[in-house]
Amino acid sequence: MINSTQQTEQPLALFVTCSKGLEALVEQEMIAYGAIKVRQSVAGVFCSTTIEVAYRAIMFSRLCNRVILLLAEGPVLTAEDLYNSAGVVDWSDHLLPGQTLAISAAGGTEHLIHTQFIAQKIKDAIVDQFRSKGVPRPDVSKEAPDLLIHAVIKKDRLSLGIDLAGASLHRRHYRTEQGEAPLKETLAAALLMRAGWPQTDVVKPVLYDPMCGSGTLLIEGVLMALDIAPGLVRGSELTRWPHHDAAAMERVRAEALTRKEAGAQWQGRAFGSDVDARAIGFARRNAHRAGVADYIEFVECSITEAVPPVAPTLVICNPPYAERLGEQTEVELLYGELGGLLRRHAVGARAAIFTAKPEWGKLLGIHSHKQYSLFNGALPAKLLLMNINTDAIYQKHARSATQETIADGASSDNASTNAASRQTPQNSSQTHAPVELDAGAQMFANRLRKNLKTLGKWARQQGNECYRLYDADMPEYAFAIDCYGRHIHMQEYKAPLSVGEEDAALRRRQAYQALCLVMAQELQIPAANIVLKVRERQRGNEQYKPLQKEGEDFVVNEGPARFIINLERYLDTGLFLDHRPIRHWIREHAEGCRFLNLFCYTASVTVHAALGGAHSSTSVDMSRTYLHWAARNFELNEIDPRTHQLVQMDCLKYLEQLSRTGGEQFDLIFLDPPTFSNSKSTENVLDVQRDHVGLIEQCLALLPKDGLLIFSNNNRRFKLDEGLQEKYRIEDCSQASIDRDFTRNQKIHRTWFIRH
């Protein structure tokens, strides 16, 4: 039998929801507010309390998501049980005529599978009850309902209640801008509480986050220290439930204002830094909206350049997760750099590091004395707590930590000097932790320096801003490293099965660290401008799919041409460096030509043809993504899209279509098909070895007798059909099309000039 709650002047049954892992902290909060019979459950706590205590939770709780007033509870198995259970509640006591409602459902039974059906059945019971009493039925409003009803079915039992606040309390409404994967405000507050913040035992506490992102940890920390209730920041509006007690809510609000006034005496500060300038902008504006901008200083700088202006008393940080291809090594190195920062600038402080990879905590070089298991959304994670002192620092780091402090002048007496050097890019090398490279990585670094002197000098003489610096010169370091202006693309060839993942990860980490060191010392290129990827074979249209990170667009020059590059969003960067000689040749010979570029990618070859004076051009590719990229390249180079057309179509179908019309249509054609393509966006399956004869002959049919087809592909086992060589004039230009920076990889592509 369903048991309905009594009137609100009697003790109320509440279920206060929270993120999984925060139940114990929410239990402590509710006891402090005056609740009784508090009992933890999964993702929340049950308790018995008064309406004023419920309002205190809505106003003051930094951890709970919703405060649910329980109306009914009992067994349900079928839709009929659900309907009858919902009908037991006297809904006219909770909804006035003309008011609106919304229903949120979760869970289910063997017969009640869909939450939308559960919500619909409860709505039917409510509407039918109003109709039976001859009063106007309530309408449903998903946007701003007067009453928000929650239904949860777990273990064949229904819990039915109403949300007293009407919206999730984790939203403080100051964070209207945010970067990638931000922490929920409630989770940020929980991390701070577990770390012992606010530090009431310190006269002038200093909170520091060297990877602050959009500033959530720091903003929540300052709000806590100032004792500003979340309800004052968010606004403590309630639903239009008829039994709300306005006087009780006003008493709670007055208490919050009094506490805020007293909390303004706080003498602490907060500092944050991040390498992402966009995120720092978000953080500053978020702090302003939260009303705490005067207490927080944000600075744009990398972790290796970060120096807190004042010695911190608590360092708290949520380092990024390795979510995208090749990112694990970068993040592991980031942990090492974070450990160096803690050892140099935070001795004597506490540290709280929140991580989804607790094993990476060892890379910090500091023992944790306490760990808390929590969840970031559905992702299990741990909060590592540390006291940064000589006993906690790993023995192998203890001596270097002292040396780093001396070398950096990082004592508290020199804090102002450190702040000045942090803000001066040319001095940033002073704040780098000593890099410990093994013998192999040191040899790798030496090879990079040698290549910079030879290939770098050659590239500058040729006016090449983009070139290959290193291409598996040392087989045990199987990377391709390309320079795109002041950005570096490091691509790892997939390790053979004989090399274990642990060994491969160690070598990758050492190589990346060596590259960062060399680039910083020789070219003053920061680690933030270096992107590492592990390259694996892509199937179908996977090569067109974005990776997990958006990445930054930037522009590079190649002779008179300019191109948009993105090293992170897609597997490829937007410019194939090995085709540079072909692009230059086409630019020099394209004047007056009608040019066709098949499988055009981002149309870099077409850009050179147009700049070389091509009369007109057509560039064909089936990827809308890459054609949009090509259009941006055209705009960047002031190329008229009316004369130089971009066509989204499968190139095989395009050639078939043109072959039906017949006749000469182009003077110069560049044909560079992939080795294999079976994209779902086309019914055709391309195999360049099998299909190249037909492709070549279809192209030649579009050319006059003096026309030229440039055919290229990167299939290392490719063999040109002998029958073609008997029918056409074919010149193998592969060797001439390989520039100096690709001489170690002569089979990067094959190129032929083909004429009638």
In this structure, the number of other CB atoms found within 10 A of the CB of residue 700 comes to: 19
Strand partners, 139: 100
Q: What integer is the mean pLDDT of 150-162?
A: 93
Q: What integer is the mean pLDDT of 224-252?
A: 92
- 305 or 669, greater pLDDT: 669
Tokens 């659900």 correspond to: 82
* Residue 327: half-sphere exposure toward Cβ, Cα within 13 Å: 16
Q: How confident is the model at residue 8 (pLDDT cuts 50, 70, 90)?
A: very low
- 459 or 321, greater pLDDT: 459
- 404 or 63, greater pLDDT: 63
Whether 448 and 480 have beta carbons less than 8 Å apart is answered as no
Q: Among 352-356, 549-553, 609-613, 719-723, where is mean pLDDT lowest? A: 549-553
Q: Which of 54-63, 317-326, 501-510 has the highest mean pLDDT?
A: 54-63
Q: Which long-range contacts (CB under 8 A, 24 or more apart) does 671-674 make?
A: 671/598, 671/599, 671/695, 671/696, 671/699, 671/709, 671/710, 671/711, 671/712, 672/579, 672/598, 672/599, 672/605, 672/711, 672/712, 672/713, 673/598, 673/599, 673/713, 674/599, 674/713
46 vs 335: CA distance, rounded Å = 39
* Predicted TM-score (pTM) of this structure: 0.61
Q: What integer is the mean pLDDT of 171-186?
A: 82
List the strands of the sheet with 139-140, edge to edge.
Answer: 36-41, 44-49, 12-18, 64-75, 157-163, 147-154, 100-107, 139-140
**404-415 pLDDT, tens per residue?**
443 343 333 333
Q: What integer is the mean pLDDT of 266-284?
A: 94
Q: What integer is the mean pLDDT of 235-246?
A: 88
Predicted confidence at residue 408, as pLDDT, reads 42
For 93, counting Cβ atoms within 10 Å of its Cβ (0-12 exposed, 13-18 middle, 19+ buried), the class is: middle
Nearest Cα to 211, choosing from 179, 255, 253, 176? 179
Whether 65 and 169 have beta carbons less than 8 Å apart is answered as yes
**Strand boundaries in 496-643, DSSP class E:** 530-535, 553-558, 561-566, 594-598, 616-621
Give the domains, in start order, of the chain with CATH numbers.
12-163 (3.30.2130.30), 185-226+266-431 (3.40.50.150), 439-536 (3.30.750.80), 553-755 (3.40.50.150)
Q: What integer is the mean pLDDT of 203-214?
A: 95
Q: How confident is the model at residue 1 (pLDDT cuts 50, 70, 90)?
A: very low
Q: What integer is the mean pLDDT of 541-545?
A: 41
Cis status of the peptide bond prior to 198, with omega within 30 of 0: yes
For 439, counting Cβ atoms within 10 Å of its Cβ (0-12 exposed, 13-18 middle, 19+ buried), the class is: exposed
Tokens 């086992």 correspond to: 717
Q: What integer is the mean pLDDT of 498-503?
A: 70
Q: What are the helix (H) ranges across 412-567?
A: 415-422, 439-462, 501-523
Predicted confidence at residue 433, as pLDDT, reads 42
Q: How confident is the model at residue 497 (pLDDT cuts 50, 70, 90)?
A: low
